Amino acid sequence: MKVDRMFFQQFEEKVKTDDEIKQLMEAGDVEVATARAKEKYDNKPEEFFDLEKLRKSLKIDRKISWRELLELVYFGNQIKGKEDLVNDEFEKFSNTNNIEGIEDLQALRYFFFAYVTDPHVREIIDQQDFTELYHNPSFNVEDFNRVDDTMKSQLPNYIRTYVPLNKFLSA
């Protein structure tokens, strides 16, 4: 909707004309700029900017941060959606783990996606309550059985160690 896009444009104009934040961003002090932007603009009575409204105006399917918004405004860094982030993380996984002998890469990719994005699947796998997969609509026992046996434990360990799951929280 045009109204939604206009809401972000109002935020963008406000932040770009804020000399303090502009100086901090140009100096590369993104963390301080992020804190100041949150302090100055988060749900203040004039415009009522908040992350949820700004996320909706940008049509992003996951929670976003003030840092991501400032990087979009000042550096043009696009905010990636959930699927793009999962694909990036899967690429990192495949580059750091030996997956050459894996016969069904699509099944591994789907397992990765389900484990990262679905807390219920994560709970089932972590508790090794695999019978629950018979009743799970998003990732079922057939999907799990297609995954290479070594990856059934290696992939969750990798994700728990290296993937920041809070980035994938649905909005």
Report whether pLDDT(9) > 60.
Answer: yes
Residue written as token pair 């990719």: 109
In angstroms, how far is CA 60 from the centroid of its own chain?
10
Give the pLDDT score at 47.
Answer: 77
Instruction: Read off the pLDDT of residues 46-92 as tens digits, 9 standing for 90 and up.
Output: 778 989 999 999 999 999 999 999 999 999 999 999 999 999 999 99
Report whether pLDDT(1) > 60.
Answer: no
- Residue 66 and residue 132 share a domain: no
DSSP notation for 39-92: HHHBT-TTT-B-HHHHHHHHT-SS---HHHHHHHHHH-PPPP-HHHHHHHHHHH
Full residue range of the structural domain in which residue 96 is found: 82-168
- Residue 62 and residue 36 share a domain: yes
Token reading at 159: 């994700």
Last residue of a domain, one of 75, 108, 133: 75
pTM reported for the whole predicted model: 0.79
- Residue 57 and residue 103 share a domain: no
- Residue 57 and residue 6 share a domain: yes
Give the pLDDT score at 168.
Answer: 80
pLDDT (mean) for 96-103: 90
Distance CA 141, CA 62 (A): 27
Task: Give backbone dihedrals phi and psi of 118, rounded to 5 degrees, phi first.
Answer: -115, 105
- Residue 156 and residue 90 share a domain: yes
Report whether pLDDT(171) > 70.
Answer: no
User: Mean pLDDT, the chain, as a whole number?
Assistant: 92
Distances (CA, A) of 116 to 12, 104, 111, 121, 168: 31, 19, 8, 9, 7
Give the pLDDT score at 169.
Answer: 73
Per the structure, how many domains does the chain have?
2
